[in-house]
Amino acid sequence: MVVSLPMALDFERSDIGLPPGSLVYVGDRHPEEMALLMIGYDPVSSWARTAETVDELLQYRNSSGITWINVNGLKDSSAISRLAEVYKIHPLTIEDILNTEHRPKVEEFDDYLYITLKEISNPNEDALAFDQISLVLTGNTVITFQEIAGDSFDGIRRRILNNVGRVRRLGADYLAYALIDAVVDRYFIALDVLGATVEDFEERAVDDKDTAFISDLQTAKQKLHHARRAIWPLRESLSVLLRAESDFISQDLAPFLKDLQDNVIQAAETVESYREAISGIMEVHLSAASNRLNKVMKVLTIISTIFIPLTFIVGVYGMNFVHMPELSSVYGYPIVWGIMILVALGMVVFFKRRNWL
């Protein structure tokens, strides 16, 4: 049998040692449909089960070793409530899971540790997607709730089912760490896309023919704002988790959490550097536009200045007084023209000597 995990990741039974009777996990569900997956493992073996209902899945909950339940989709609140009833998850936590606008945080209850964070993905170069992931760590069980099915956890599934790395040798708290670390790793992929966009803006900043520059820059600024809201609170949450003496986190996990916190800090600092770069690019663009405007104003001012004395001369000889001496002169007209030309040339020479032209 082939078990089809999310995002078309297929594993043969020979690759993962999946026992007979495994259900098929449908990876192309409608986003609003709920998909349930349970993975169990110990240092010796691992297994995976999928189900359509919570009760169908829970028949495997008493298996020995570590159990990971992944819930894709949050529309079926009754199913989530049933899962919460079995694992004694507080109603306030359920409200936080279903409310996808929460900022990342860590809360410890009597029976479990609750962590929520934001997943950042880039489905295309023009947009970033921000999805909420909630994680409940209770005993030897980790429950994850994904707002939208994604591929952040596919690497963890492969490592568990193929016995790669240290996941199978350590406890449920390490699994929780590995899941959060997988989400954080995707931050850098999304930030690399934003970094390329920022570099592109640096080249576009002085292009006066780029009419879409301001709107595109504003869009990038909004993306960075949303990324900052997703990353910075997680840094604070991990700091709380490191300082707290939680019964759900072993002391052996502290170095891993510290490394995870360093990665989040690096991602947060990257966001801040991009925000500063965006502000600097905006200043460069405005300065370039101001310089172009100043050049235009300079040319117009010089032209106006040259015509001021010419306008005066023409105004004097346009008064039509009868007894103006130059009016009856045969050479008056060419003389006036000569004077105006000399005045104009003289002013141009004067401006050039002053380096105004």
For 174-193, write each residue's pLDDT tens digit: 998 899 988 888 888 888 88
pLDDT at 25: 35
CATH class of 291-353: mainly alpha
Given the structure tokens 């009856």, which residue do they identify? 328
For 200-249, write each residue's pLDDT tens digit: 877 777 776 777 778 888 888 888 888 888 888 888 888 888 877 777 78
For residue 54, the surrounding DSSP H or E stretch is helix 54-58
**347-352 LR contacts (CB < 8 Å, sep 24+):** 347/305, 347/306, 347/309, 348/306, 351/302
User: How far is Cα 162 from Cα 100, in angstroms, rounded to an integer?
Assistant: 33
Give CATH for domain 2-286.
Answer: 3.30.460.20
Total-model pTM: 0.73
Distances (CA, A) of 94 to 75, 77, 146, 151: 12, 9, 13, 23
The domain spans of the chain are 2-286, 291-353
Neighbours of 229 (CB within 10 A): 14
Please determine, for residue 23, whether its predicted confidence score (pLDDT) is greater than 60. Answer: no
Please determine, for residue 2, whether its predicted confidence score (pLDDT) is greater than 50. Answer: no
Beta strands 66-72 and 35-41: pairing type? Answer: antiparallel
Neighbours of 133 (CB within 10 A): 24
Name the band, by pLDDT with cuts 50, 70 and 90, for residue 33: low
